[in-house]
Amino acid sequence: MRRTWLTIRALVLWAVSGIHFAVVGTIIVVVGLCVDRRKHDWIYRGFFRNILRLAGVNFEVHRASGFDAQRTSIFICNHVNIFDPFVIYSAIPQFVRGFELESHFKLPIYGWMMGWFGNVAVPDAPTRESLEIMTQRAKAALDSGVSLIAFAEGSRTRDGHLKEFKKGIFNLAQKFGVPIVPISIVGSYQFFRTGNWMLYPGKITIYLHDTIDTSQVARGEVDALRRRVQDIVAVPVEESLKANLPG
């Protein structure tokens, strides 16, 4: 009986949140052509939060005492499922955009919206030229006061555990001396697992950890920085996996 109820619930939530995303998202993009996106960022933030609410997500944010909301930063977090961008954007109290694979920009509706939104394309098959273009775009965004989000694992988890963080984003942060903010997305795997379509009742908690200054990090210390950030992100994620997961 419970399985039947969960199945019906998931089907309804997917339908409602999907229609909301397609219809309201299109309207917001049209409106956005006529207004300053920075001054009206609250519109998009509210839209993203509504997507989570309509998908049945209870949402909570914890900010560490050392988190500096005023500094333009690179936010680095674990990658769980397709709801992550909406979760992160709803949690970060800054004007922020994300790194996103080029192939995602080809997806119907979503890709068009993310391209218009201003996300920075990451090449699926990196070349020297494509990486240089990405670096220039990232620097332009950061220099203009736009913080960036990076999923350092490079792909979504299949078992809830963190995969090893890739070094590229840390090289970028060190090169530009941009602060890093580790973020832990906790509870999202219990809510929705990549490779399955079921949406389970639950709560997603976002941990915004202390801001890490990189201005004094030497090039030879980048790998140690990568390991440090990964360990910070992993602690609350791994602790949450000790609880019972839905079947």
**C-alpha–C-alpha distance, residues 38 and 26, integer Å:** 18
Whole-number pLDDT of residue 172:
94
User: 101 pLDDT band (50/70/90 cuts)?
Assistant: confident
User: Does the pLDDT at position 1 exceed 80?
Assistant: no
pLDDT, mean of residues 17-35: 82
**pLDDT tens column, 107-130:** 877 777 777 778 888 887 778 888
User: Does the pLDDT at position 49 exceed 70?
Assistant: yes
Provide CB contacts within 8 A for 194, sequence distance 6+.
80, 81, 82, 156, 157, 158
User: Does the pLDDT at position 139 exceed 80?
Assistant: yes
pLDDT, mean of residues 4-32: 87
Residue of 224, 75, 223 lying closest to 152 (CA atoms): 75
User: 234 pLDDT band (50/70/90 cuts)?
Assistant: very high
**Which of 3.40.50.150, 3.40.1130.10, 3.30.70.360, 2.40.110.10 would CATH assign to domain 57-240?**
3.40.1130.10
**What are the structural domain ranges in the chain?**
57-240
Which amino acid appears at position 32 of this protein?
G
Structure tokens at 245: 């997961």
User: Does the pLDDT at position 41 exceed 60?
Assistant: yes
Residue of 24, 51, 21, 12 lying closest to 197 (CA atoms): 12
Whole-number pLDDT of residue 111:
77
User: Does the pLDDT at position 171 exceed 60?
Assistant: yes
pLDDT, mean of residues 171-190: 96
Q: 161 to each of 10, 18, 109, 115, 154, how far by Cα in Å?
A: 24, 27, 30, 30, 14
The predicted model scores a pTM of 0.90
